[in-house]
Amino acid sequence: MSAPPIRQPIRILGIDPGLRRTGWGVIESCGNRLVFIGCGSVEPDDDLPLASRLLEIHHGLAKVLAEFAPAEAAVEQTFVNKDAGATLKLGQARGIAMLAPALVGIAVSEYAPNLIKKTVVGAGHADKAQIQMMLKILLPKAEPKTADAADALAIAITHAHHRGGALLRLKAVQA
């Protein structure tokens, strides 16, 4: 009879992209156990031109990647806004959020906003207050200072719960 394999913790970076504030959250997942590692946000100066703001987002995420060394990353999928210009700009920030981990060889998964809410709260149309309340239960040591950092932690939690299927889909696309 052999002993069951020892599960290794996996470090996950969740990213909530935005031009004004890109939230990030890092957790470790080992089986069903989640551990808070860190969170924050990258906040480029509003007065900067778009390209410079995108560059600041990249630099900020690169620092997070270097400091916390996650093995996997997850980003929220973009929802289409009524304002096409705002949606396009958000898409550019999201591109940077996906590029930064990819540049250092980290797989990036994407999750729909409703799946994130359903995973963390149990309802696909939960509000930000409900998400923050559940974060206190799931990650008691986490104290995100912004809603974007809280959302990034929720994205990381979602990836921890759905990562097996997400990684299979990534491998299928790469094949």
148 assigned ligand-binding residue: yes
- Candidates 71, 155, 172; CA nearest to 110 is 155
| Residue 170 CA from chain centroid, whole number | 16
Is 16 annotated in the active site? yes
Q: Are 109 and 173 in contact (CB under 8 A)?
A: no
Give me the count of residues in the chain: 175
Is 76 annotated in the active site? yes
Catalytic residue among 28, 72, 148, 151: 148
Residue 118 Cα distances to 58, 63, 121, 154, 163, angstroms: 29, 30, 5, 10, 15
Catalytic residue among 47, 76, 83, 127: 76
Is 72 annotated in the active site? no
83 assigned ligand-binding residue: no
56 assigned ligand-binding residue: no
- Candidates 165, 167, 161; CA nearest to 106 is 167
Catalytic residue among 16, 28, 72, 151: 16
- Give the residue numbers annotated as catalytic, written as ranges: 16, 76, 148
Residue positions forming the annotated binding site: 16, 76, 148
Residue positions forming the annotated binding site for Mg(2+): 16, 76, 148
